[in-house]
Amino acid sequence: MKSQITTLLVLFLLATSCTNESKNKATSSDSEYSEKYSGPIIDMHIHGYTQNGGMFGLTHPTTLRGETYQGAKNIEEHQKQTISKFHEHNVVKAIVTDGHEWYQDNPDIVLIADADEPLDTLRKKHELGKLQAIAEMAPFYAGILADDPSQMKYFELAQELGIPVGFHIFPGGPNYGIHTLPEILGGMRTYNANPLQLEKALAKYPNLKLYIMHGGWPYIEDLKALMYAHPNVYVDIAVTNWILPQEEFNKYLKSLIDAGFGNRIMYGTDQMVWPQVISIGIETVNNADFLTRDQKEDIFFDNAAEFLELSEAEITKLKNP
């Protein structure tokens, strides 16, 4: 009888130990997935402006996640609020389209991008150290595809200079933009938004460093096919991280990661005149409950650092200021 009691006691203690161990593992795992990333961030998609235009002061139409945003009133307010968000969220590098004036005050952060210039002008800017990326290429708004001869020469120049090219694909512009902002987005068409239109350029220029802006949602299967075929294709997740509902964003992002492309996803905002979306985009990634802390770090910093070919010394400096 005494032997039986002893045996039962040992079994009970073993079961309790295993249960506690399982709980500890679960707690550790839960912690790994719930941890917010607060390290340095590289934003691959920001807009600066050289003059006031029709977007300033514009209220963003209600997004698919049910939110709306009030636009900055002018160039000065826009730059001040955006740079303030950079400091608030530890954005240490940002590719800024039309970022020439921003660069003067923030040379350590701003990487200048341009695409709406003649080839000779872009080449000259690069020679002067005033062009780090050809972006944002956006023939989408004029109904022109990436493989049009007028666009192919920009890919050729990007490969020649050895700098990244960022190409605009869906979901560019506010949802329903054709209808709600026809004076600005009336040329948008969904038929010319598929990422497969880039294949001709990728085949012709195999050393091209290309990233798809806005991530190519909702053409997720075609996007995966393109990334499978071409290892030099990256995506930024701009717009998707503040215009889509959290669950839809999660499905899109998880599909890319599950397919093995977690090392080619980069953070971006596509902050036009609404600086507050920087905070929302970062929060959306941090709230993706299937991401580990390391995966968040890949998206927010490591993948872009590799894509931009930052030196080990610079990476160390940015991660350990």
How far apart are alpha carbons 298 and 303 in whole angstroms? 5
Together in a domain, 17 and 151: no
Q: pTM for this structure?
A: 0.88
Give the integer Cα–Cα distance in Å for 185 and 172. Answer: 10
Q: pLDDT tens across 89-123, in order?
A: 999 999 999 998 899 999 999 999 999 899 999 99
- Do 43 and 163 lie in one domain? The reply is yes
- Collapsed DSSP state (helix, strand, coil) of residue 267: coil
Quote the CA–CA distance of 271 and 48 in Å, as a whole number. Answer: 9
Confidence of residue 6 (pLDDT cuts 50, 70, 90): very low
CA–centroid distance for 302 within its chain: 12
Residues 148 and 4 placed together within one structural domain of the fold? no
- Work out whether strand 265-266 and strand 233-236 pair parallel, antiparallel, or are unpaired: parallel
Separation in Å, CA 15 to CA 2, 7, 11, 140, 315: 20, 12, 6, 62, 47
For residues 130 and 184, what is the distance between their CA atoms, to the nearest angstrom?
Answer: 28
Pair 276, 192 in one domain? yes
Model pLDDT, residue 177: 77
User: Is the torsion defined by CA of 25, 303, 269, 195 positive or negative?
Assistant: negative
Instruction: Tell me how far apart the alpha carbons of residues 263 and 306 are, in angstroms, rounded to a whole number.
Output: 9
The distance from CA 103 to its chain's CA centroid, rounded to whole angstroms, is 21
How far is residue 16 from each of residues 4, 9, 12, measured CA to CA in Å?
A: 18, 11, 6
* Residues 225 and 121 occupy one common structural domain: yes
- The predicted pLDDT at position 261 comes to 98
**pLDDT for res 32:** 67
**Residue 19's pLDDT band (boundaries 50, 70, 90)?**
very low
**Is 69 in the same domain as 212?**
yes
Do 17 and 55 lie in a common domain? no
Residue type (1 letter), 45: H
Kindly report the number of other CB atoms within 10 A of residue 274's CB atom: 23
DSSP structure class, residue 58: P
Are the CB atoms for 265 and 223 separated by under 8 Å?
Answer: no
CB 85, CB 275: distance < 8 Å = yes
Asked if pLDDT for residue 33 goes beyond 80, the answer is no
pLDDT of residue 181: 77
Q: How many helices (H) and strands (E) does the chain have?
A: 15, 8
Q: To which residue do tokens 């049910």 refer?
A: 66
Query: Is the model's pLDDT at 76 over the cut of 90?
Result: yes
Residues 76, 43 within the same domain: yes
Number of domains in the chain: 2
pLDDT at 4 exceeding the cut of 80: no
- First-to-last C-alpha distance (Å) of the chain: 67
Task: Supply the mean pLDDT for the chain.
Answer: 89
17 pLDDT higher than 60: no
Q: Please give the distance of CA 149 from its chain centroid, rounded to a whole number.
A: 27
Domain match, 98 and 19 both: no
Overall average pLDDT of the 312-320 stretch:
95
Could you read off the pLDDT of 251-288 as tens digits, one per residue?
A: 999 999 999 999 999 999 999 999 999 999 999 999 99
62 is in which domain, residue-wise? 39-319
Q: How confident is the model at residue 31 (pLDDT cuts 50, 70, 90)?
A: low
pLDDT value of residue 174: 80
Q: Looking at residue 34, what is its pLDDT?
A: 73
Q: What is the pLDDT of residue 106?
A: 93
Segment (H or E) for 115: none
Please give the helix or strand (H or E) that residue 210 lies within, else none. strand 210-213
Q: What is the pLDDT of residue 30?
A: 60
Q: Which of 2-16, 77-91, 92-106 is the least confident region? A: 2-16
6 and 79 housed in the same domain: no
pLDDT at 171 over 90: no
Is the torsion defined by CA of 279, 284, 286, 287 positive or negative? positive
- The three-state secondary structure class of 261 is coil
- Residue 204, domain CATH: 3.20.20.140
Position 138 pLDDT exceeds 50: yes
Q: Which residue has the higher pLDDT, 188 or 226?
A: 226
Lowest mean pLDDT among 20-34, 39-53, 196-210: 20-34
**Angle in degrees, CA 167, 97, 63, rounded to 5:** 70
Omega before 127 cis (within 30°)?
A: no
Structure tokens given for 146: 């990436």
Q: Distance between CA atoms of 185 and 208, rounded to whole angstroms?
A: 29
171 and 217 share a domain?
Answer: yes
* Whether 55 contacts 248, CB under 8 Å: no
**Is residue 24 predicted with pLDDT exceeding 50?**
no
pLDDT tens for 206-237 read 999 999 999 899 999 999 999 999 999 999 99
Specify whether 27 is located in the same domain as 56.
Answer: no
